[in-house]
Chains A and B, each alone.
Chain A
Amino acid sequence: MRVLIPSQLRSYTHGAAEIAGAGTTLEELTRNLDAEFPGIRFRIIDEQDRIRRHIRIFVNGEQANTLAAALAPGDEVQIVGALTGG
């Protein structure tokens, strides 16, 4: 599946804005991403397996609120840095 990476995380993906991912749930996908790009998961998912406050994850354009969200091979997952800061 396609995984779209926001600018905030491209230091982990060697600059890539889009990568290929695998997993049947967001939990699996983020674990697999972390194996390929060490450290990336903890920047977007906290130790209680919650999506961090200023991160949004969309699956085929629909916002996913938990890591239990199901994924299929052809899905597009978009990780977004939400509005924040100043």
Chain B
Amino acid sequence: MKRKAAGRNAKKAPPRAASRSGARPKNRAARGRIVLMVGTRKGAWLFHSDAERRRWTIDGPHFLGHIVNHLTLDPRDGSTMLMASKTGHLGPTIFRSADMGRTWTEASRPPAFPKAAEGQSAEGKRALAVDYTFSLAPAHPREPRAWYATTSPPGLFRSEDAGVTWEQVAGWNEHPNYWKWNNPDAGTPDGAILQWMTIDPRDPTHMYIVTSSGGVFESNDKAESWRPLNKNVEANFMPGPSPEFGQDTHCLQMHPAAPDRLYQQSHCGIYRLDRPDDEWVRIGRNMPPEIGDIGFPIVLHPRDPDSAWVFPMDGTTVWPRTSPGGRPAVYRTRDAGASWERQDRGLPREQAWMTVKRQGFTADGRDPLGLYFGTTCGELWTSGDEGRRWRQIATHLPEIYSVEAATVA
């Protein structure tokens, strides 16, 4: 049953976001089968659907026992799959597949910081080493073989050859404010992370990144220089209501058809920003108070800039980070955050203490939109009707770190 939640700001609906052409995008939903790419603490799995997304077949494990933070398929060529992996003993690397995971080859030069100069540590700058690659992102379509990787400690890396070799992006990793913006002792239990990067589809030189100990940063010169973009975003673990930087942005999404619209799920709420404004609006204030607006992921509707989904978690008391009250639900807005509706049909009614991590919730491009989330308990859930009904398609997987969906021929 859907229950609509209208908060105290519900009447202040924002203007509907326009697409790049100034009109709402036409429905060009892709057809075909879906492949879900699931990264877990103990390996990777692929789930293949039929054309109706009703039946799913499981393919895996791939790299059993490896810590797979992320794997994703390049939408530009439909065949290059990259996977970020490490193990409990072994250092981080990238694996590549061109045949939908049947065979894999390792990057010849995985993301790595440069060797530190003599005396660097004496300047208070630690000699950084990549602990793990957190996310992989294809670069702009005009750069068809280029990719970006984000890491812990917070690092940005770029490949020009479809993931075979990687070089650091010095504009971020060696930024004069790097050590000011990236407190290596802050961040997540898994260390400080550069969690996300996204590129403006209109302009490959315009991009955003987010970190777990700095918040959102923007570049207009292809990552050569950066500035914080955190105005009005709370950081209740720091002095003052909203510092210039230091926020913990869990997930940032730029709308693909209306790139001036940004949404973020932060450690301290759900926000929207319509550029060129630079002050975020806490749209999570319109969530039901008993649910709150704390969570990890946020997912956008690719054809409706006013629609987004979140998976709230309990951010009260000692921060259990589980479904509030043990009753999991997805919440959807259709009006850019002015109001939210609960979507829990098919999900457990009680005693289900789910957590969905930053990269654990995604959408496909179909119409109606398919939604998918994986939990830290190893459950994989799908909805083929934009969240109205949910169905579990896997359980007993290892802790799920990431879920990506792609349409395949």
B87 and A8: CB pair below 8 A?
A: yes
Partner of B93, one of A8, A42, A49, A52: A42
B91 and A43: CB pair below 8 A?
A: yes
Q: How many residues of A contact B (CB 8 A)?
A: 21
Q: Interface segment, A17-25, A62-70, A78-86?
A: A78-86
A6 to B113, CA, bound (A): 26
Partner of A46, one of B87, B91, B108: B91
For chain A, residues 22 to 49, give those with C-beta under 8 angstroms from any C-beta of chain B: 38-39, 42-49
B121 CB to nearest chain A CB (Å): 10
A44 and B90: CB pair below 8 A?
A: yes
Chain B residues with CB under 8 Å of A42's CB are: 91, 93, 110, 112
B115 and A44: CB pair below 8 A?
A: no
A84 and B91: CB pair below 8 A?
A: no
A43 and B93: CB pair below 8 A?
A: yes
- Annotate B91-120 by CB proximity to A: 1 below 8 A, 0 otherwise: 101000000000000111010111110000
A84 to B90, CA, bound (A): 11
B108 and A52: CB pair below 8 A?
A: no
B130 and A85: CB pair below 8 A?
A: no
A47 and B112: CB pair below 8 A?
A: yes
Chain B residues with CB under 8 Å of A82's CB are: 89
> Does residue B5 face the partner (Cβ distance < 8 Å to A)?
no
The SS class assigned to the A binding surface is: loop
Chain A residues with CB under 8 Å of B115's CB are: 47-49
Chain B residues with CB under 8 Å of A81's CB are: 88-90
A9 to B87, CA, bound (A): 11
Chain A residues with CB under 8 Å of B130's CB are: 46-47
A39 and B106: CB pair below 8 A?
A: yes
A44 to B90, CA, bound (A): 6
A81 to B130, CA, bound (A): 19
Nearest B-chain residue to A54, judged by Cβ: B89
B89 and A47: CB pair below 8 A?
A: no
Chain A residues with CB under 8 Å of B262's CB are: none
A8 and B89: CB pair below 8 A?
A: yes
B129 and A47: CB pair below 8 A?
A: yes
Q: Given contacts A39-B93, A81-B89, A84-B88, are A48 and B116 in contact (CB under 8 A)?
A: yes
Q: Given contacts A48-B116, A84-B88, are A38 and B108 in contact (CB under 8 A)?
A: yes
Chain A residues with CB under 8 Å of B90's CB are: 8-9, 43-44, 52, 55, 81
A48 and B129: CB pair below 8 A?
A: yes
A14 CB to nearest chain B CB (Å): 14
Chain B residues with CB under 8 Å of A52's CB are: 89-91
> Does residue B127 face the partner (Cβ distance < 8 Å to A)?
yes
B89 and A55: CB pair below 8 A?
A: yes
B93 and A47: CB pair below 8 A?
A: no
Query: Mind listing 10 A-B residue pairs with CB under 8 Å?
Result: A8-B87, A39-B106, A42-B91, A46-B112, A46-B129, A47-B112, A47-B129, A54-B88, A55-B90, A84-B89
Known A-B contacts: A8-B89, A39-B107, A42-B93. Give 19 more (CB < 8 A). Answer: A6-B89, A8-B87, A9-B90, A38-B108, A42-B110, A43-B90, A43-B91, A46-B91, A47-B115, A47-B129, A47-B130, A48-B128, A48-B129, A49-B115, A54-B89, A55-B89, A81-B88, A81-B90, A84-B88
Which residues of chain A have a CB within 8 Å of any CB of chain B?
6, 8-9, 38-39, 42-50, 52, 54-55, 81-82, 84-85
